[in-house]
Amino acid sequence: MTEIKICGLTCKEDIDIINEFPITYAGFVLYVPKSKRNLTLEQAQQLKAGLKESVKTVAVTVSPTKEQVELIQEAGFDVIQIHGSLHREVEQYVKIPVFRAVNVETEEDIQKVMKEASNKISYFVFDGRTPGGGETFDWGMLKKMVDNTTKIMLAGGLTDKNVGEAIRLLHPGIVDVSSGVEKETGKGKDKEKIARFVKAVFNR
């Protein structure tokens, strides 16, 4: 069964909403100053402490340093999601599962990231051009380049309107949504949108 990750949580209200639904992963953006969803490590720790025990916490980063990886692990996150570069000297310090993300524009983007496969990478995250930007990409391109053994996590422009189609086409282990369940103001998650998204995932 496909699991759900809600990304870009920023406030206590988001946490309260997540706790009401069968969400497997909660994502917190760290060390990405240009993101409107960026948090300090201390802010993320305070928020994740309020999650129900069944929810796994994901630290979402871009090209993290060794020091940042170590701080994330010390803070007790369950998973680290890495966009940008993953240097070998950094990877050797990773002790928790990795969601390795790529922003898909071409087939080469997909090929390049899949060459990084290792026992530390539990899922490949195939995202739109801009993380959290609400843009989809050509799912058909991904479909022809993966097989049933590929651990797919799909992100980028997912909503309750298209996630059912995405699951039928690609059978991802996880679907990842952020902007697709945000309030119209862009600040905080929308409970009704999350309810519709969850229903679309599980009641196809």
Q: What is the pLDDT of residues 75-96, one digit of tens each?
A: 999 999 999 999 888 999 999 9
| Residue 80: Cβ within 10 Å count | 24
> Which active-site residues does the annotation give?
7, 127
pLDDT in tens, 114-162: 888 888 999 999 998 876 667 899 999 999 988 877 899 999 999 999 9
At 87 the three-state DSSP class reads: coil
CB-based contact 69:94 (threshold 8 Å)? yes
Query: Residue 152 and residue 93: Cα distance in Å, rounded?
Result: 24
Please state at what angle helix 191-202 crosses helix 163-170, rounded to 10 degrees.
Answer: 30
Q: What is the pTM of this model?
A: 0.95
Ordered by start, the domain boundaries in the chain are 3-202
Quote the pLDDT of residue 184. Answer: 87
- Compute the chain's Rg from CA coordinates: 16
Question: Does domain 3-202 bear CATH number 3.20.20.70?
Answer: yes
Cα–Cα nearest to 44, from 55, 32, 59, 33: 59
Query: Residue 86 and residue 193: Cα distance in Å, rounded?
Result: 33
Quote the pLDDT of residue 167. Answer: 96
pLDDT in tens, 42-74: 999 999 999 999 999 999 999 999 999 999 999
